[in-house]
Amino acid sequence: MTAAHLDPTRRHDAVLLFDVSDGNPNGDPDAGNQPRTDDESGQGLVTDVAIKRKIRDTVSLLRGDDPRYGIFVEAGFALNTRIEEALKANPGKAEQAQRWMCEHYFDIRMFGGVLSTGKGGGAGQVRGPLQLTFARSIDPILPTDHTITRVTQTRQDDIDKGERTEIGSKWTVPYGLYRAHAFYSAPRAAKTGVTSDDLAALWQAITVMFDHDRAATRGEMKLCGLYVFSHPDAFGVAPSAALTQRITLRRVDDNKAPRAHTDYSRSIDGSGLPDGVELTRLVDLWP
């Protein structure tokens, strides 16, 4: 029997909780790469695009040898070339080209994609079954700019002048606990061909994505919670918000700046779930 969260014929709503310590979870290139924030509330933001990038890269590590788990949006590869490859395999048939791409690329099958670029108008657009929100920190964050130095120069001319160090800067967030939501539509999944194995790859990738995306700029990031509400059928029996809001977080001590996920209490209201809805706790670091 297929576990509820792995059933592609059921609707799923998920809550992701992750944190960052002394790192930059998602720099804004329009603001000198400082951590993204909501200008009004001061809360930190991580874009859905950044989260999908981590999922793509991790799926590639987990399933890279499987031709069904190719990644369409991948560094070093032109999108038009891949679209034209699909059209070449299915000349003059955009719908079949879309099906071909869904069969060969995990991220097209799961996230969808715009395939209308390239020669002859491309292959149209695929609407994927999984959508992610921006992640937003529970509390305002305090982006900090650190001046750093290195003991070598970029140019020989500077060394000849007697210069010994170069100065740069590095943005970090001392601490932030972020929350994002994911929504999976079974009817759309049926059109792109999502399988139980695809959902297993998705949840596994989210579970370990921070462990395989280490970088000095990101400090320490970890997944603190991953909770999946599975409906009994494809269309669902309750609004997403009625389920995701059952998971709440509160500061343990309002007079102390949070520096760990345990500085928040996490509560889950599992009582009175709509008939047939099942909650799966895939990751839960709270006792």
pLDDT per residue over 267-285, tens digit each?
999 999 999 999 999 999 9
Is the pLDDT reported for residue 201 higher than 80?
Answer: yes
Q: How many CA atoms lie within 13 A of 87 on its CB side?
A: 18
Contact 114, 82 (CB under 8 A): no
Give the per-residue pLDDT at 152: 79
Is the pLDDT reported for residue 99 higher than 80?
Answer: yes
Q: How far apart are CA 203 and CA 280, in angstroms?
A: 11
Q: What is the pLDDT of residues 46-88, one digit of tens each?
A: 999 999 999 999 999 999 899 999 999 998 888 988 988 888 8
Q: Distance of alpha carbon 168 from its chain centroid, rounded?
A: 29
Report H helices in the chain.
48-63, 79-89, 94-104, 106-111, 156-160, 186-192, 196-208, 240-244
- State percent of the chain over pLDDT 90: 78
Here the tokens at position 40 are 């009004």
Reported as a pLDDT band with limits 50, 70 and 90, residue 140 is very high
Contact 215, 221 (CB under 8 A): no
Reported as a pLDDT band with limits 50, 70 and 90, residue 6 is very high
Could you tell me what percentage of the chain is helix, strand and coil, using 3-state DSSP and rounding each to the nearest 5? Answer: 35, 30, 35
Q: How far apart are CA 131 and CA 119, in angstroms?
A: 28
Length of the chain: 287
Q: What is the pLDDT of residues 210-255, one digit of tens each?
A: 999 999 999 999 999 999 999 999 999 999 999 999 999 999 999 9
Give the per-residue pLDDT at 120: 66
Q: What is the pLDDT of residues 147-163, one digit of tens each?
A: 988 787 788 888 888 88
Q: What is the pLDDT of residues 161-199, one digit of tens each?
A: 888 777 888 999 999 999 999 999 999 999 999 999 999
Contact 231, 7 (CB under 8 A): no
CA dihedral for 75, 80, 85, 90, sign (positive or negative): positive
Give the per-residue pLDDT at 122: 74
Contact 90, 73 (CB under 8 A): no
For residue 73, what are the CA distances in angstroms to 95, 102, 189, 192, 214? 20, 13, 19, 17, 20
Candidates 38, 224, 50, 243; CA nearest to 139 is 38
Give the per-residue pLDDT at 128: 97
Model pTM above 0.85: yes
Give the per-residue pLDDT at 167: 85
Contact 19, 177 (CB under 8 A): yes
**Region 98-118 average pLDDT:** 93
Q: How far apart are CA 142 and CA 174, in angstroms?
A: 7
Q: How far apart are CA 33 and CA 24, in angstroms?
A: 9
Give the per-residue pLDDT at 153: 79
Q: How many CA atoms lie within 13 A of 135 on its CB side?
A: 25
